[in-house]
Chain A
Amino acid sequence: MNRRDFLKTSGALVVSFAAFDDAFAQAPQPGRFDGPGTPELDAWLAIDASGNVTAYTGKVELGHGLYTSQTQLIAEELCVPLARVKLIQGDTDVAPDQGTTSGSQSHPVNFNEGGLAGACATARDALLQMAAQRMGVPASILRVEDGIISGGGRASLSYGELIGGKKFNLTVNPNAKRKPASEWKILGTSVPRLDIPALATGQFEFVHNVRVPGMLHGRVVRPPDVGATLVRVDESSVKAMAGFVKVVVKNNFVGVVAEKPWQAIQMATALKAEWTKGTGLQPQPTFYDNLREQKASRDVMTVNSKDVDEKVTKASKVIKATYRHAYQMHGAIGTSCAVADVRNGKATIWSATQSVYPTRNTTAMLLGMKPEEVHVVFTMGAGCYGLNGADTVSYDAALMSQAVGRPVRVQLSRKDEMAWENYGTSYVIDQRVAVEGTGADATIVAWDYEGWTPGLGGRPGYNNPGNVITGFLAGAEPAPFAARAATDPNNYANNLNIAPSYVAGSVNGRSGGTGNIKSERVLTHNLRSQFWTGPLRSPERLQNTFAHESIMDEAASSVGADPVAFRLKHLSDPRLIAVVKAAADAAKWDARPSPQRAARKTGVARGRGFSCVLYEGNNGYSAMVAEVDVDQDSGKIFVRRFVVSQDCGPISNPDGLKNQLEGGVLQGMSRALTEEVTWDATKITSVDWRTYPPLYLGAELPVIESVLVNRPDRRATGAGETAITLVAGAIGNAIFDATGARIREAPFTAARVKAALTVRG
Chain B
Amino acid sequence: MNVSLKVNGQSHTVDVDPTTPLLYVLSDDLALRGPKFGCGLGQCGCCTVIVKGAAVRSCVTPVQAMNGAEITTLEGLGTIEKPHPLQKAFIDEQAMQCGFCLSGVMLTAKVALDKNPRATDAQLRQELSGVLCRCGAHTRMMKAIKRYQQEVRA
Q: Which residue numbers of A lie inside 8 Å of B, CB to CB?
A: 62-65, 192-193, 195-206, 208-209, 211, 217, 242, 260-263, 331-335, 380-383, 385, 411, 413-414, 655-656, 659, 662-670, 688-690, 694-704
The chain A residue with its CB closest to the CB of B43 is: A689
Closest CB pairs A-B (n = 5): A63-B98, A202-B34, A666-B136, A199-B99, A698-B129
B56 beta carbon closer than 8 Å to chain A? no
Write out the residue numbers on chain A whose beta carbons fall within 8 Å of the beta carbon of B120: none
Q: Would A663 and B135 count as touching, CB distance under 8 A? A: yes
Q: Would A200 and B134 count as touching, CB distance under 8 A? A: no
Assembled-state Cα–Cα distance A381/B100 (Å): 8
The chain A residue with its CB closest to the CB of B86 is: A200
The chain B residue with its CB closest to the CB of A192 is: B94
Write out the residue numbers on chain A whose beta carbons fall within 8 Å of the beta carbon of B27: 208-209
Assembled-state Cα–Cα distance A656/B133 (Å): 18
Q: Would A206 and B78 count as touching, CB distance under 8 A? A: no
Write out the residue numbers on chain A whose beta carbons fall within 8 Å of the beta carbon of B46: 333-334
Most buried by B among A663, A664, A702, A704: A663
Q: Would you give the 0/1 interface string for B88-108, flagging 1 where the beta carbon is closer than 8 Å to chain A? A: 001100101111111101100
Assembled-state Cα–Cα distance A28/B111 (Å): 50
Q: Would A63 and B99 count as touching, CB distance under 8 A? A: yes
Task: Say how far A660's CB is from chain B's closest CB, in angstroms.
Answer: 8
B73 beta carbon closer than 8 Å to chain A? yes
Task: Pick 24 A–B contacts, CB within 8 A, sort by A.
Answer: A196-B96, A197-B91, A199-B102, A203-B79, A208-B37, A262-B19, A331-B134, A332-B100, A334-B100, A383-B98, A383-B134, A383-B135, A664-B136, A666-B136, A667-B135, A688-B41, A689-B132, A695-B138, A697-B128, A697-B132, A698-B124, A698-B126, A698-B128, A700-B125
Task: Say how far A237's CB is from chain B's closest CB, in angstroms.
Answer: 18
User: Which residues from 11 to 65 on chain B have a C-beta closer than 8 Å to any C-beta of chain A?
Assistant: 16-17, 19-21, 24, 27-28, 31-34, 36-41, 43-44, 46
B5 beta carbon closer than 8 Å to chain A? no
Q: Would B98 and A62 count as touching, CB distance under 8 A? A: yes
The chain B residue with its CB closest to the CB of A656 is: B94
Q: Would B98 and A201 count as touching, CB distance under 8 A? A: no
Which of A62, A659, A696 touches B137 (beta carbons < 8 Å)? A659
Assembled-state Cα–Cα distance A86/B94 (Å): 21
Write out the residue numbers on chain B whose beta carbons fall within 8 Å of the beta carbon of A263: 17
Q: Would B80 and A335 count as touching, CB distance under 8 A? A: no
Given that A333-B132, A663-B135, A696-B131 are known contacts, is A414 also in contact with B40, CB under 8 Å in the complex? yes
Q: Would A333 and B97 count as touching, CB distance under 8 A? A: no
Q: Would A196 and B137 count as touching, CB distance under 8 A? A: no
5 new A-B contacts, CB < 8 A, other than A202-B77, A204-B99, are: A201-B80, A203-B75, A333-B100, A663-B137, A697-B105
B68 beta carbon closer than 8 Å to chain A? no
Q: Would B94 and A262 count as touching, CB distance under 8 A? A: no
B6 beta carbon closer than 8 Å to chain A? no
The chain A residue with its CB closest to the CB of B129 is: A698
Which of A62, A208, A655, A664 touches B36 (beta carbons < 8 Å)? A208
Q: Would B99 and A196 count as touching, CB distance under 8 A? A: yes
Which of B39, B73, B94, B132 touches A196 (beta carbons < 8 Å)? B94
Write out the residue numbers on chain A whose beta carbons fall within 8 Å of the beta carbon of B19: 262
The chain B residue with its CB closest to the CB of A670 is: B136
Task: Say how far A506's CB is from chain B's closest CB, in angstroms.
Answer: 37
Assembled-state Cα–Cα distance A625/B98 (Å): 26
Q: Would B83 and A197 count as touching, CB distance under 8 A? A: yes
Task: Say how far A379's CB is from chain B's closest CB, in angstroms.
Answer: 12
Given that A203-B80, A414-B40, A689-B39 are known contacts, is A696 also in contact with B136, CB under 8 Å in the complex? no
Q: Would A696 and B132 count as touching, CB distance under 8 A? A: yes
Task: Say how far A339's CB is from chain B's closest CB, in angstroms.
Answer: 12
The chain A residue with its CB closest to the CB of B137 is: A663
Assembled-state Cα–Cα distance A541/B90 (Å): 33
Assembled-state Cα–Cα distance A204/B98 (Å): 11
Assembled-state Cα–Cα distance A290/B24 (Å): 45
B113 beta carbon closer than 8 Å to chain A? no
Q: Would B140 and A242 count as touching, CB distance under 8 A? A: no
Q: Would B39 and A659 count as touching, CB distance under 8 A? A: no
The chain B residue with its CB closest to the CB of A702 is: B139
B71 beta carbon closer than 8 Å to chain A? no
Which of A200, A381, A655 touches B102 (beta carbons < 8 Å)? A200
User: Which residues from 119 to 153 on chain B have a C-beta closer than 8 Å to any C-beta of chain A?
Assistant: 124-142
Q: Would A698 and B17 count as touching, CB distance under 8 A? A: no
Which of A200, A262, A411, A667 touches B21 (beta carbons < 8 Å)? A262
Assembled-state Cα–Cα distance A228/B13 (Å): 44
Q: Would A411 and B37 count as touching, CB distance under 8 A? A: yes
Q: Would A202 and B74 count as touching, CB distance under 8 A? A: yes
The chain B residue with its CB closest to the CB of A264 is: B24
Assembled-state Cα–Cα distance A694/B131 (Å): 10
Task: Say how far A266's CB is from chain B's closest CB, in angstroms.
Answer: 8
Most buried by A among B16, B28, B128, B135: B135
Assembled-state Cα–Cα distance A141/B82 (Å): 45
